[in-house]
Amino acid sequence: MIKNPYLKEKIAFTLLFGATVLVVLPVIFVLFYIVKQGWPAINWEFLTQMPQKGMRAGGIFPAIIGTLYLVLGTLLFALPLGVLSGVYLTEYARDNGLTRLVKLAIINLAGVPSVVYGLFGLGIFVVFLKFGASILAGSLTLAIMVLPIIITTTREALDSVPQSFRQVSLSLGVSKWQTIRHVVLPHAMPGILTGMILAVSRAAGETAPILFTVAAFYLPRLPKSVFDQVMALPYHLYVISTQVPHVKLEIRYGTALVLLIIVLSLNLVAIIVRAQFRKKKKW
C-alpha cells in the first residue's frame, strides 16, 4: 500500500490528465487530417457548382443546400415539439408510473440505431402518407430521431433551475405558466440550446435516416418544393467514397470538411445565442 498522500495525488493527477489527453488527441488528429486532405479542394467553384463528370469533378452545391434544408426542416418540427413536451413532462405531468415509463421510453429512443428511424420514415412518411422520397419525409424522419435528444436536454435544463425560484414566483401571485415563461425558461434556455446544438449536429451528419427518405444519389439541380428529393452531404460523401470509382481523395475530404464546417458554424450560432442568454443571468 502506498501511504504517501503526495504521491497518490501525483498518480491521480497523471491518470486524470492522461485520460483527457487520450480523448483530446484523436479529435485534434481527425480535424487536422480532414483539413489537410480536404483544404486543396475548397474553392468557390467547389462550393457553388453542380457536380460534373459523374461526381468526379465540379462542385457539391446541391448537397450543401440539401443538408441546410434538412437541418432547418428538422429543427422546424423537432424544436417546438421537443421543448413543449419537455416542459410538460417536467413541470406539469404528475410523477406517477405512466410518466416515469414515458420518460424512460424517451431516453431509450435516443439509443435506437439511426437506420431503424430510416426504415420507420420510409414506412410512414414515404409510403403510407405518400410524401414520397422528399425533403418533408426526410426532415420528419430526422426530427423524430432528434426528438429524444431535445426532450431529454430540455428536461435536464428545467430540472437544473432551482426549485426555490419557482416557489418564490408562485408566492408572488404569479401563475404557473407565467412562472415557467418568465422564470424557468429563461434560466433553462442555455441548456435547451445545448440540446439544439446536439440535434443539429446529429441531423446534419446522419446518413441512414435520409437514405430511404430523401437523399438523391445524383441530382444536379436545386429542389423546387418540400416534396422534391435533394442531395445531402453525408450521403454524397458515402456515395463518392464507396459507390463511384476513381473520385479524387481531395474531393472526398473536401466534402467531409464542408460538412464539418457547416455543423460547426451552426453550432457556433447556437453557442453565441447561448452566451447572450448566460450574460443576462446575474449569478
Partner 1 sequence: MHTMIETHQLNFFYGSFHGLIDINLAVAQYQITALIGPSGCGKSTLLRTFNRMNDLIENVRVTGRVFIDGVDIYTPQTDLVNLRKKVGMVFQRPNPFALSVAENILFSVKIHKTAPASQYEAILEESLRAVDLWEALKDKLHRSALQLSLEQQQRLCIARLLPVKPDILLMDEPCSALDPMSTAHIEELMRMLKVNYTILIVTHNMQQAARVSDFAAFLYLGELIEFGSTEKMFTVPKDRRTEEYLTGKFG
Residues that bind partner 1 (CB under 8 A): 94-95, 162, 164-165, 167-175, 178, 182-183, 187, 281-283
Residue among 10 and 281 whose Cβ is closer to partner 1: 281
Contact criterion met (CB below 8 Å) for 208 and 117:
yes
Residue among 10 and 278 whose Cβ is closer to partner 1: 278
Contact criterion met (CB below 8 Å) for 194 and 155:
no
Residue of 176, 186, 233 whose CA lies nearest to 205: 233
Considering the complex, what minimum distance in angstroms separates the CB of residue 156 from partner 1?
18
- Please name the amino acid found at residue 220: P
Considering the complex, what minimum distance in angstroms separates the CB of residue 265 from partner 1?
30
Considering the complex, what minimum distance in angstroms separates the CB of residue 273 from partner 1?
19
Read off the C-alpha cell for 249: 481523395
Residue among 89 and 258 whose Cβ is closer to partner 1: 89
Considering the complex, what minimum distance in angstroms separates the CB of residue 175 from partner 1?
5
Beta carbons within 8 Å of 214's beta carbon, 6+ residues apart:
66, 70, 133, 134, 135, 137, 138, 139, 141, 229, 230, 232
Instruction: Tell me if residue 217 falls in helix, strand or coil.
Output: coil
Residue among 3 and 280 whose Cβ is closer to partner 1: 280
